[in-house]
Amino acid sequence: MENLKKFYKNKRVLITGHTGFKGTWLASCLIKFEANVMGFSKTDERTNDYKKICYYKKIKNVYGDILNYNYLKKKNYQFQPSNNLSFGSPVTCFSIL
């Protein structure tokens, strides 16, 4: 665990789907590892579960449609995550689905 904390400390991490089941737990872990987290998700009723489980006030929460390329690119550019693959080419990063 200490190695993970060292790796993620102060890193900027973008999580898509951060209000879903997996995203909520991933965000919680990254916050414990002292990462700077931005979550990008659709607005839906599951955010209540997300707020119960996660340290949501420590996360930059952004809501929108991931298929809206211009909006996603703008938010990605503003946040500048440490993962250069998503920052440099978000379409390539998401097209693997």
Q: What is the mean pLDDT of residues 70-75?
A: 88
Q: How many angstroms separate the CA atoms of 28 and 73, rounded? A: 24
Tokens 């916050």 correspond to: 31
Helix (H/G/I), strand (E/B), else coil: 62: strand
Phi, psi of 14 (to 5 degrees): -100, 125
pLDDT at 76: 82
Report the predicted TM-score, pTM, of the whole model to 2 decimal places: 0.74
| DSSP assignments along 36-53, one per residue | EEEEEE---TTHHHHHHH
Q: What is the mean pLDDT of residues 37-66?
A: 80
Domain architecture of the chain: domains with CATH: 2-94 (3.40.50.720)
